Every structure is written in structure tokens, then in C-alpha cells.
A and B are shown apart, each in its own frame.
Chain A
């Protein structure tokens, strides 16, 4: 079973890729350099507080705006193990899968989880457990080809191993 477990950072609707990684830092494509500025225009404390395995939970349309793959790269390199949202913008969704950042759509979880909660996600079943509140939510499990891409840490490794 592949799973994620961590403390939640919570955000609202329409978190755009410009706040996930502002374009003033796009003169670099180095993951660690991008991670150092992740989310800084909406949450200055994120970079200092985030720990390996932590989880981002948001409301509607997470990752809207630019197609920059630097956005999921920055989130992944910051140590985030999973993003849960009510909905994702489509380019971000594709990019996250392609670089091996697990993301799950689940409106109920996005409503039932608060900042600071400890949450576990089982990618095989799509079950999201809020360990702090003792509640569970059923998110959509990945189709098997998407799970394989994530297991390979991205589309490129997946293609190479085929």
C-alpha cells in the first residue's frame, strides 16, 4: 500500500500557480530553489513550517492559471506528499501526475479538514483519514495507469520502464 501521512496546510478557492511559485523565480528550474519560494505570496510561513510528508488541502480550482510545471515541482520539492482539493485546474492536474506528485479530488475532505490536522491518504483505495478528528472520506482512487506513473515518480520514468 502506498500512503501519505502528514500535517495539513489549508488554503481556499482558486490558489493559482502565480502564488504557488511566482514568475519572478522562474528564471530557475532547480527544484530546491523553487521550493524555497513555494506559496510565499499567500503564506510567508509555509516554507519555514513545512516538513517532509506534510499535506496541502484546498477548496476549488487549485493550481489555476499558468501551465508552469514549476508549480507542482516546487510543492513536491518542499516535501509535500499529497494535495487534496475540491477540484483542480486541468493543466495542474496533468502536470502533478506527470512529475509524480499525488493529488486527490475530494470535496468532503476539503470541507472536513482544517489547518494543523494530521491526515493520512491511502492511494490504493482513495481513503482519506483525518486522524486528529477521527473522520474518514472517500476520495477518488487513481486509475491504475496514473498510479503507475506516480509510483515511478513521473511520466518520464514510467515511459523508460515500459
Chain B
């Protein structure tokens, strides 16, 4: 029996000819990632482990992105703990304020993630790098600690679901709409423990940023990872950003998929996930009249240059509706700079939005845009769970940058066609 793309990568990293779904393996890791929330716990565990040191100083990435610049004394203590660890172990890829960005936008941009890699990260959205044809998955702090010490992790080889994408998406349909459509179709546990393998001619119409968004939210369907074939678009991205050699793995023709869904991208519409689960999706023509208090455009899901470009194209020459707070967060320093040079930052500020330095802040209800009781936010982030962005009685509507920007102008959830 053939192997899926994910299975081939895992087999190669476990030193095995073949693997099958359900098999327990130990794989060599190309990169171990942690942030300012998960790394302190991992560092503490590693100290208890009596490990001699880290397995490879170049293959660990520590990114302070959730609560920086430090929001309070406790987060400052956490960051200090990570900083001291990075210094002590001479971690090459340590990113503090000034260099940091939101981890899942930053690492591909810095060329640290390439096709064929096996990557674990103590952050659930580590699955993002599947967009480049890597196997990458989220783990907890203890797995991160063991990974930093040994360079290995155990996995149960996942079975797979195939999403065969055809057709060309319409003007306002982005990667966000594709993945919200999929989560709406299969549910928040629809891919539990499984790999989500994307195939089909429709992929050529998806930009790299679209694919990062889609792979990023595989975890929102319960997936272990999401993965795309390595085409010319992915190769061009890696050649531009990375000095590392990449390895292209392709699924066998007779690879086994538990299910195959064929999705005609040309039939999709802008899609919004209603509170309090990403699976509660409606297309934009069905949302009705939902007034909003806040808009967030950013995050590891949608804080990349193309996201800002689309938002700026909608907000160009427009004003944010009185009474709506709009927070734009470029995901990395480079994206911030590129957005500035392209004029997007000016567009946002003139429209009445604020622009922040990179941070995960509001996405997880940390800081920089917490919601009060009964407030509603349209957000380009990835989760709309109860209390995720603040008060337990607040509401989050997940949408694309285009819909978020349009909603900022009208003060209610809106299609960009209305603007």
C-alpha cells in the first residue's frame, strides 16, 4: 500500500522504508519551536530532566510573541526566563522585541522551515508550515522540552483525509474562506488525529499566503497537520527566503485516504464563523445584520503582507465607522516595513485604524484589544471560543481580511462588494 505525503516525510525521519497509519514511530526533528507562554514551562521541565544541554543550537527557535512588549510583570518574568535560557544555550534562532514577529509568520520568512522538514512547536498553530510541504504539528511544553534535549519526538502515524481543490476562487475569496468552508463542512473534530492533505489544480490559484492561512487552521478541524504539495509557488518562496536545501515528497498514487472531499473553489463565497466555534460558518449573503464594536486584522492566520494589502485596498480612501475600534497588527517587522513602503499603513491610519507592533495579543485575549461584556468583534484570527478575546459574554466572528475591512467601514458584518 502507498503512503501519503505526511507518511513519507515521517518514514524518512524515522529511518524506515515505509510506515502505516497507527504505527508508533520516533522521528528526528529539524526544528523545535516555543514561545513566551509555552517555553518557560518547557525550560522548567528540561531542567528537571537533567539534560546536558540542547540537541542542536541551530534547530531550536524561541520567539517571544504572545505577550510582548511585556504586558505586565509576570509576562516580563516569563520572557526573562526564555531570554536567559537562549543566552545560556547560545540559541541561534532566538527572536526578542525588535526582531520578533508572530512565530508562524516569522519562521518561514526567516527561511527556517522548508519542504520535507519534521517540525514540532509548543503552539497549536505550528501546523502552518505544511503550506511549504513540511510535516509540522503542535505539541505541549513537555514534548518541546524532550525535543530540545534529544532532537526526537514520538508520533502515531496519522491516517489522512484528502481535500481535492479545483477551480479558481472569485475576487474576494481567500485562503481564509477556503479553510472556514472546510471546517464548516467537517466540524471542529472532523480531522481529529488525522493529516489534512490538499491536492488538485485549484492550488495553483492560491498564493503562498493563502496556503499558510489554510494550513494554519488545520488544528481548528482537529487535524494533526495540514500539508500542500510543493509546486513552483512554494519553491519560489523557499528560494527567496531560505538558504536551506529542501526535499520534495509526493504522495504515492495508491496512498490511502479515509475520505476525499472535492471542493470547487470557484463556487465558494466569503465565509464567516459565528460564535462560539469555527465550524459555525455562514456565507456572507446569509449573515444578516450583525453590528460590531471592534475589528482585528492580524495574527498567525492573517497578518501577512497580502492580508494587509487586501484590507488596505478595501479601506483606501474610506473611514472606519464611528464607534468601531480597528486594530491592525502586521505579523512581523519585515511585513510592517513592507506595508509601510507600500502605503498600507498610511491607508489604515487615515481610515481611523490603529497599527500595532507584532503580537498575538488580542487573538487569545492577552491584551491589545480585549472585549467588554456583550461586545462583538470581527476578527481575522483563528478561534472564536467563549471568552477567547475577553469577557465571557463577548462574541468573535472569524472572517477574511477583506470582510473584516469592509465591516470596519459599515460597522456591521459586510461583504467587500458593499464598499
Query: What total count of A-B pairs have CB within 8 Å?
Result: 125
- Is A148 in contact with chain B by the CB < 8 A criterion? no
Q: Is the CB of A91 within 8 A of B140?
A: yes
- Is B246 in contact with chain A by the CB < 8 A criterion? no
- Is B146 in contact with chain A by the CB < 8 A criterion? yes
How far, in whole Å, are A61 and B364 apart by their CA atoms in the complex? 20
How far, in whole Å, are A160 and B38 apart by their CA atoms in the complex? 22
A89 proximity list for chain B (CB < 8 A): 189, 192, 222
How far, in whole Å, are A94 and B137 apart by their CA atoms in the complex? 12
Q: Is the CB of A16 within 8 A of B49?
A: no
How far, in whole Å, are A61 and B219 apart by their CA atoms in the complex? 12
How far, in whole Å, are A33 and B75 apart by their CA atoms in the complex? 14
Q: Is the CB of A87 within 8 A of B385?
A: no
How far, in whole Å, are A61 and B211 apart by their CA atoms in the complex? 26
- Is B40 in contact with chain A by the CB < 8 A criterion? yes
Partner of B48, one of A27, A94, A98, A156: A156
- Tell me the residues in window 93-107 of chain A with beta carbons closer than 8 Å to chain B beta carbons: 94-95, 98-99
Q: Is the CB of A19 within 8 A of B142?
A: no
Q: Would A18 and B366 be within 8 Å (CB), given that A29-B41, A61-B222, A69-B141 are in contact?
A: no
B9-17, B66-74, B399-407 - the one binding chain A: B66-74
Q: In the assembled complex, how far is the CB of residue A121 from the closest CB belonging to chain B, in whole angstroms?
A: 22
Partner of B387, one of A19, A26, A68, A156: A19
- Tell me the residues in window 372-391 of chain B with beta carbons closer than 8 Å to chain A beta carbons: 383, 385-388
Place the interface of chain B in its size category.
35 or more
B385 proximity list for chain A (CB < 8 A): 16, 18-19, 65
Q: Is the CB of A23 within 8 A of B222?
A: no
Closest B-chain residue to A73, C-beta based?
B41
B217-236 vs A, Cβ < 8 Å mask (1 yes, 0 no): 00100101000000000000
Q: Would A14 and B189 be within 8 Å (CB), given that A24-B365, A70-B41 are in contact?
A: yes
B339 proximity list for chain A (CB < 8 A): none
A155 proximity list for chain B (CB < 8 A): 142-143, 146
Q: Would A99 and B122 be within 8 Å (CB), given that A41-B386, A69-B41, A160-B48 are in contact?
A: no
Q: Is the CB of B67 within 8 A of A27?
A: yes
Q: Is the CB of B67 within 8 A of A91?
A: no
- Is B188 in contact with chain A by the CB < 8 A criterion? yes
Closest A-chain residue to B221, C-beta based?
A64
A9-21 vs B, Cβ < 8 Å mask (1 yes, 0 no): 0000010101100
Q: Is the CB of B140 within 8 A of A94?
A: yes
Q: Is the CB of A98 within 8 A of B189?
A: no
- Is A42 in contact with chain B by the CB < 8 A criterion? yes
A29 proximity list for chain B (CB < 8 A): 40-41, 44, 78
Q: Is the CB of A98 within 8 A of B192?
A: no
Q: Is the CB of A156 within 8 A of B38?
A: no
- Is B139 in contact with chain A by the CB < 8 A criterion? yes
- Is A79 in contact with chain B by the CB < 8 A criterion? no
Partner of B388, one of A18, A26, A64, A94: A18
A69 proximity list for chain B (CB < 8 A): 38, 41, 122, 140-142
- Is A66 in contact with chain B by the CB < 8 A criterion? yes
- Is A1 in contact with chain B by the CB < 8 A criterion? no
Q: Is the CB of B140 within 8 A of A95?
A: yes
- Is A28 in contact with chain B by the CB < 8 A criterion? yes
How far, in whole Å, are A67 and B78 apart by their CA atoms in the complex? 17
Instruction: List the 4 closest pairs (A to B, CB-CB), nearest first.
Output: A95-B140, A27-B74, A69-B140, A98-B142
Q: Which A residues form the contact surface with B (CB < 8 A)?
A: 14, 16, 18-19, 22-24, 26-29, 41-42, 60-61, 64-70, 73, 87, 89-91, 94-95, 98-99, 154-157, 159-160
Q: List 27 A-B contacts (CB under 8 A).
A: A16-B385, A18-B388, A22-B365, A24-B365, A27-B75, A27-B78, A29-B44, A41-B386, A42-B386, A64-B188, A65-B383, A65-B385, A66-B123, A66-B383, A67-B38, A67-B121, A67-B122, A67-B124, A69-B122, A70-B41, A90-B192, A90-B224, A94-B139, A94-B143, A95-B143, A159-B49, A160-B50
19 further A-B pairs in the complex, CB-CB below 8 A; given A16-B383, A69-B140, A91-B219: A23-B365, A23-B366, A24-B370, A27-B71, A61-B192, A64-B188, A64-B189, A66-B383, A67-B124, A67-B138, A68-B37, A68-B38, A70-B37, A89-B189, A90-B224, A95-B140, A155-B142, A156-B49, A159-B146
